[in-house]
Amino acid sequence: MKLQRKNRLRATALGALAVSGALVLTACGSDDNTGSDTSGGSKTSAAASDIKCDGAEGQLRASGSSAQKNAMDLWVKNYMAACSGVEINYSSSSSGEGIVAFNQGTVGFAGSDSALKPEEVTESKKICKTGQGINLPMVGGPIAIGFHLEGVDKLTLDAPTLAKIFDTKIKKWNDPAIAKLNDGVKLPGKAIQPFHRSEDSGTTQNLGKYLNAAAPADWKYEAEKKWPAPGGQAASQSSGVATQVKAVDGAIGYFELSYAKSQEIATVDIDTGGAAPVEATSENASKAIAAAKVKGTGKDLALDLDYTTKAEGAYPIVLVTYEVVCDTGNKAETLGSVKSFLTYTSSADGQKVLTEAGYAPIPEAINAKVRETVAGLQ
């Protein structure tokens, strides 16, 4: 079983490398599979025949969430193969930096793992002129709790135990609270080394929302983008946290499942109080996201997630990454590209490729509203 798991993870990692290499070739102008017409537009490749390039041209800059970077890499690769006259440049930084860039008017859209705050919506009206910033849910997925513990490749934790670990209240891997959840597992008395994000992060905020909801007695911090608890070690972006967990024996951290897959990092199963602990998978995250309710008003599609679900097979530590755009008042020079690109990402094929990178598609009932809103952007 252990060997099969390693082989599966290794195959996934090689697939991720292949995707990355394809993206580089596409970005360098390779169009062997696309072709172009003489009117300045582009023909669509057979693999991306549903991508419509109408109205899209030039360079589209976007930035924000590193949680959706691997999804964005796939989307950009496919889209630029179909629309050779358009260059999509997504800068993976953090949700906080993406929102700042959007409200400064330097990007066509921003990626954020948490919905705009009221004050951020107010600020966006200066850029959107006739409208305001809205949240379009585009990427779903589990926040994996990755760990590196020599001799242990399977681990179960619950919300109270996780809260105490990340608050540095539980300091050793053989702590009785951990042992109780892992009967039969030989846990070493090694020090726990928790890692968190160093910059403002929507992934941090979503983990905080889960801990607030599922372990209120043990996690007393507000769910903010900035890491709130003392102790632990910081690393930049999801990729940085994953790299540290991969390298340090005794480490634990949080990041999107795609980073765990690509770096072959073991992930924690979550004891929700249901029939059995739940593994971090795209399918299990989808079961939790499917219960989400739209809480936004008007064209805003911000979601309310249930972090305390005990539904069978529903993985509770999930995030939804939004693309933040103006409902009206988008810049004329980028509006066509924004609508074209987001039409693809919210399409059935655009959502389907998410599972290739460890993400979960947005449920169709919600995604239909996203497509309708994208079509009406002005």
What's the confidence (pLDDT) of residue 66? 87
- For 326, the token pair is 């103006």
User: Residue 23 to residues 87, 190, 372: CA-CA distances in angstroms?
Assistant: 12, 41, 29
What's the pTM value of the predicted model, to 2 decimals? 0.76
Q: How confident is the model at residue 33 (pLDDT cuts 50, 70, 90)?
A: very low
Question: In this predicted model, what pLDDT tens digit does every residue of 89-134 receive, in sequence order?
Answer: 999 988 999 999 999 999 999 999 889 999 999 999 999 999 999 9
Question: In this predicted model, what pLDDT tens digit does every residue of 176-203 receive, in sequence order?
Answer: 999 999 999 999 999 999 999 999 888 9
Question: In this predicted model, what pLDDT tens digit does every residue of 47-85 receive, in sequence order?
Answer: 445 799 989 999 999 999 988 998 999 999 999 999 988
Q: Is the pLDDT of residue 88 over 60?
A: yes
